[in-house]
Copies of this chain bind each other. A is one copy, B any other.
Amino acid sequence: MPAPKPELKIGLIGTGFMGKTHVFGFASAAKVFDLPYEIVLHTVADVTDTLAETAARRLGFRHATFDWRTIVADPAIDLVDITAPNALHKEMALAAIAAGKHVYCEKPLAPRASDAAEMARAAARAGVRTQVGFNYVCNPMLTLARRMIEAGELGTIVNYRGIHAEDYMADPAGPFTFRHDPAGGGALADIGSHALATAEFLLGPITEVMGDTVTVVRTRRDATGTDRPIEVDDIGRAFLRFSSGASGSIEANWLATGRTMQHDFELYGTKGALAFSQERFNELHHYDAARPDGRRGFARIEAGPAHAPYGDFCVAPGHQLGFNDLKAIEVLGYLRAIAGEIDEPFGFAAGARVQTLVETIARSAQERVWLAVPNPAAAVRGEP
């Protein structure tokens, strides 16, 4: 009979959509995987006691508080999970790190790369384990893609094309939101960050960028009825150079009428190619140039037990994972990192890296010049 697992007590700040998603992730991960810890939903914080208590009951936390500092100050809590508004991430995370907590933070780590970098440095100094919520790279099919690249199955990769397009801002009459905040907003930051994270996850450091940003909808009305000028990009593009020698591009677009999740990539190597769309994220399309003449073609590989950790969810192929399952995989990786089994899959350093990429592209677009991306050693790599 196995020894009981150590407990990992969670303090959650924020109970909106992402807070709920994180709790699903913890619950699902605990059911699906043999985690290194027993997860305890300890305390949840929201802006009033009533909201917090309702959330605690609904989500299964033992305690509730209107004050997130209570969580940070509570010595019983091991891990602080931040799903509060982006503007608060830094203050909360730094406080939690200072208190010696592990910190799980939704993306973006902070609106500005310099703040994100400060958070990453603080975490490194304190020796706590961190995680930023870039769940698309938790997909077993992306892990498969990464492994195929690393194993040389595709030869030398020469070209990369990444996209993240959705239509949630396609209505020109839609309101001004926090996503339009000049400090940290825009399509490039909001969803281009995913395209960039996936690009570095797959191909390694991006060393140079040329950006292009466009604001299409020039004003939007805010909650007070005021027409606010929009300064952030609706569409962002970049040419990319990778340290591997590959070149490529990404596009971010939140005006893409009809697209709900076009997080796609194609990459071409000397021995093969891959094509992926998040619209059908249980598939990876693989072209193997070594197949015999007349028999070659992009093969639709369906997710199955050969693609860990799919098999923990389902023993049979073809059953498919859902979005919430990706969050469970994110939790698994993070807890294994806390237990010291693996490096941080997507820690604060990776989160800060993505912000650096976004800001460098945005600046390049503004100045209309190619820019080097500082510190390639910091590139997103993850541990698939």
Contacts and interface: CB of A to CB of B under 8 A. Distances in A.
A147 B262 CA distance: 26
Interface string A135-159: 0000000001000000000010011
A260 B317 contact: yes
Contacts of A28: 24, 27-28, 324
A372 interface: no
A368 B367 CA distance: 12
A235 B322 contact: no
Given A216-B158, A299-B291, A301-B294, A319 B261 contact: yes
Interface of A: 1, 17, 20-21, 23-24, 27-28, 31-32, 50, 53-54, 59-60, 144, 155, 158-159, 161, 163, 165-168, 170, 172, 210, 212, 214, 216, 234-235, 237, 239, 247, 249, 251, 253, 255-261, 268-273, 278-281, 283, 285-289, 291, 293-302, 304, 306-307, 313-325, 368-370
B324 A313 contact: yes
Given A257-B269, A258-B297, A313-B323, 19 more contacts: A20-B31, A28-B324, A158-B235, A166-B318, A167-B268, A168-B316, A170-B268, A235-B247, A258-B287, A260-B304, A278-B318, A280-B280, A288-B295, A294-B306, A300-B300, A314-B323, A319-B322, A322-B322, A322-B324
B294 A307 contact: yes
Contact of A322 (B255, B306, B313): B313
Nearest to A154: B257
A323 B324 contact: no
A247 B214 CA distance: 8
Given A28-B28, A237-B249, A301-B297, A255 B159 contact: yes
24 contacts: A1-B53, A21-B314, A24-B32, A27-B31, A144-B294, A158-B235, A158-B255, A168-B316, A172-B270, A249-B249, A257-B269, A257-B272, A258-B273, A258-B289, A258-B297, A260-B304, A261-B320, A283-B297, A286-B295, A293-B306, A295-B299, A296-B299, A298-B299, A321-B322
Nearest to A256: B268
A316 B260 contact: yes
Contacts of A165: 268
Contacts of A257: 155, 268-273, 287, 289
Contacts of A253: 159, 268
A320 B279 CA distance: 8
Contact of A273 (B256, B313, B319, B324): B256
Contacts of A304: 260, 294
A261 B300 CA distance: 14
A230 to B, nearest CB: 13
A270 B257 CA distance: 7
CB-based closest 4 A-B pairs? A260-B318, A322-B322, A261-B318, A258-B287
